[in-house]
Amino acid sequence: MPLKLPDRLPAIDLLKNENIFVMDTSRAATQDIRPLRIAILNLMPLKITTETDLIRLLSNTPLQLEISFMKLQSHTPKNTPIEHMMMFYRDFAEMRTEKYDGMIITGAPVEQLEFEDVLYWREITEIFSWARTHVMSTLYICWAAQAGLYYHYGIPKYPLPMKMFGIFPQIPLDPKLPIFRGFDDVFMMPHSRHTEIRREDILSNPDLTLIAESEDSGVSIVMARGGREFYITGHLEYAPNTLDNEYKRDKDIRKDVAPPRNYYRNNNPQNPPMVTWRSHANLFYTNWVNYYVYQETPYNIDDIK
């Protein structure tokens, strides 16, 4: 089954060019199926890029998904046309009475600020709290993972001496978990961050389970509440050229920018990127939708609590 997306969303044409099957709201209305409702709180600066990255991964499930984009009232994005936001996004205040089978909360370029210094901290923590009673399973990505772990469990973040930037091998610590069905013993994950959460803090909290980690990039995936929350420190959703674009942007601004590790062929920035994470990224999102959303959510969505 394809995804049910808002009419005229730019990602539709972009993904159709990649031979990915999506359909708009008008066509989906003719199918007598209850789609799984997925909310995406997109905090990344380039909204359309992130929309496309996430929809590309969600499109591989055989289930029909209805995607709704959420925005903050307390923050106005600078890099996305206001017309796009008005057409495809709704404020949290408009969505708070609704329930969703799944939710994805993205990273944000604010990780070097203290959590409480982020302008929208009050609103986003309200969303974190709301998700616990209105969403069956929530994925927290990168900064959102750090913020969610801090808000829900008091887990601090720590500055890194150098940016964690590149593609790093990750080890599934409990391969029998449904989220890892079909995974190899090692999988790759892109990272792009200036801060970290530490293993000992996760292990000292009995409500948290460290389910994947890396010798190079540290804590990778944390699970809580039996899979109702996943905290992912990297970016499985990244497209092949995302780190390349980020590296070229930053090196034109500063001279101390190192190229992303394990990314370019032969670690040479003159060569094209080598994609090593895409298959496991697709598998992760498919497993999440199937085993932690579809298999767990009640048929009557209002019964989520």
Span 183-197, pLDDT tens digits: 999 999 999 999 999
Rounded to two decimals, what is the model's pTM? Answer: 0.89
67 touches 60 (CB < 8 A):
no
For residue 80, what are the contacts with CB-CB under 8 A and spacing of at least 6? Answer: 45, 46, 47, 48
pLDDT greater than 90 at residue 210: yes
| Per-residue pLDDT tens digits for 255-289 | 778 999 999 999 999 999 999 999 999 999 999 99
Segment among 31-40, 119-128, 291-300 with least mean pLDDT: 31-40
* Higher-scoring residue by pLDDT: 85, 226: 226
Query: What's the token pair of residue 185?
Result: 């013993």
Average predicted confidence (pLDDT) for the chain: 89
Q: What is the pLDDT of residue 128?
A: 98
pLDDT greater than 90 at residue 9: no
Q: What is the pLDDT of residue 76?
A: 73
Category of 258 on φ-ψ map: left (φ > 0), alpha (ψ -120 to 50) or beta: beta
**Residue 49 phi, psi (nearest 5):** -60, -45
Q: How confident is the model at residue 79 (pLDDT cuts 50, 70, 90)?
A: low
For residue 84, what are the contacts with CB-CB under 8 A and spacing of at least 6? Answer: 10, 47, 48
Active site residues: 142, 235, 237
